[in-house]
Structure 1
Amino acid sequence: MYTQTVQPEHLSAAGQSSPIDNNTIQLLPVPQPRSEPPTRGRQHLRRTPPRSREHRAHPYVRPGSAAGPSQNQDPVIRFVPPILAPVRAPTGPPTPQRPRSSPVSVGSRERTSTSLLLSQASRTLFIRFDWRYDPETTTITAHFELPGVKREDISIRLWTCFYNHSRQVTVYATRHAPFPGATTSRDPAPGSEIFWIEGKYGQCKRSIVVSPDCKPEDIDARYEDGILVLKIQCGPPDDKNEVQMVPLR
């Protein structure tokens, strides 16, 4: 930028001797500060402060810039596109599929049912019974529950145990199932037989200890309405009442 400077008359030492005329206008350059760039026509250009690197690919602001722009930095406006849910094609109701059983599962199911039947057949049930000793008649009266058991399927044995020499009376019976081999239906299908089994069937027994000198004629057995009643003569009681202590080692 250039300005017009006029020389005053009193600053001129000799107007005639000076080679420069007083009325002459001299253009002198105006010193400019180094920090500011040269301007033109009094229009000052403002330098834009450096901006932080923008993440154009990512629509979200990093945590470092979450506090907002500084005083010398203009706020940056970004457009975040809305997140739309994916559009799915309409689907109809699922088609019901019938489960297919593989040969391995069928074979394992058959083996399981067979082993269950064998275990039930080989298992011996215990007969429930109630008994009472009468000191006046010195007899034991026992009532054995045998519902649904026929008379010909009941046997009574008097025997002595070979290892402890105890005298016992044992009642054996067989209870037959009304539906042989049937089990409760787990997955009934239309048109097939359905079973619900709660009873216990097969071999059953129960023993009761009697006096060492008991004989078959000392036992009276009667069976009626699914109840077997045994009256066993025990003989005179033992008056010795021997009680001996066993030492503990």
Structure 2
Amino acid sequence: MFKRWLMIKKLGSEIDLDRLKAVLFLRKKGKDKDINNLLPLLSDKDWNVRNATALTIIKLVNLYPEKKEEILLKLHQLLEKRSLATKLSVLEILGQLRDYSSKDFIKKIIEESDYDLQYAAIRAIGYLDDVDILSSLKEVVYSKDYITRRAVIFSILRIVNSVEEEKKVELLTPHIHLLIQVYLELNELDEVIYKILDYGDPEQFPGMKPYSEFEIIRLTSLIEQYDYRVPVYKNFAKIIYPLYFPLNS
């Protein structure tokens, strides 16, 4: 009991290591009432303390689900008012808690924020395993920032893999360009892409998008791995056209 009291007191210590030890202690021995004591440390000056605090809050909220609604409300308030460092930690928590009520908050951040916060929001929204979120990623998947783009790619992959197998063609056909981008970067989702080209509802296909000659060769090779079927090539031609780079005269 005394050790617990001492550790809680150390949350306010001026020594970084003391605060970190206190947070890690609460991850193992924390109670529901300790979660509120941890929230201020999401703004701690030390990254290790902030990161440990986020992971501890995630564990305790999952352990005491009756506290979830209260804590989520406070996290939303932090997301609107605090510093970038705090927001990064909050987004990680919201994502790992799979808080669907935060979806609109996170989508807005993806659409309006710079790379640092956008990256964290993309990671967070990927945890939600919600196909509807894919529409929010269709612009940032082509980001020139490598880290942001990779975060999008892995979030798309996570969401696609969360869809029940028998529903993948129906739900993912409108997002085939996103799946193609995952394939081009990670060499994943080839089977899903082929099934969409083969069985997808033509009315659900998105508009055409230009691809480079190299990308088209890769996609054609993907199709050729499977049995030849005319509908596949017809659907391929409906959504893909070559990107030409005219020579300067």
Smaller-chain TM-score bracket: under 0.3
| Greater per-residue strand proportion | 1
TM-score by length of 1: 0.18
| Greater per-residue helix proportion | 2
TM-score by length of 2: 0.18
